[in-house]
Amino acid sequence: MTDSTLGLRIRLVALCFLMLFVELALIRWLGGNILYLSYFSNIVLLGSFLGIGYRNLLIVAFLLYTAAVVAGRKHLRVTA
């Protein structure tokens, strides 16, 4: 394993831990402060999963779009 691969793995583990920690904190905090959500904590869980999934879809779409734009610019170079 190279240093860059190890760094990426550590970053991935740290980001996954951070996402799960924020999700758990939201479930506990919202359940404690909003009376109706304390009975329906799964709504917060589903909202967290949907938010994380939607963000990941946006990132993938952005990366695909920028790759297409960069590839298109390579083919459209005009020489004088």
**Average pLDDT estimate for 9-14:** 90
Which residue segment(s) compose the domain that 57 sits in? 3-75
> What total of structural domains would you count in the chain?
1
Cα of 26 vs its chain's centroid, Å: 16
Give buried/exposed letters for 21-45 (b at 16+ CB in 10 A, else e). eebeebbeebbeeeeebeeeeeebe
Contact status, residue 37 vs residue 43, Cβ threshold 8 Å: yes
Please check whether residue 44 lies inside any domain of the structure: yes
Is residue 80 a part of any domain in this protein? no
Give the pLDDT band (50/70/90) at residue 75: low
How do residues 12-60 score in pLDDT, each as one tens digit? 899 889 988 988 888 888 878 887 777 776 787 788 788 888 888 888 8
Question: Which residue did the predictor score with more confidence, 40 or 61?
Answer: 61
| pLDDT computed for residue 78 by the predictor | 53
**DSSP letter for each residue of 36-68:** HHHH-HHHHHHHHHHHHHHHHHHHHHHHHHHHH
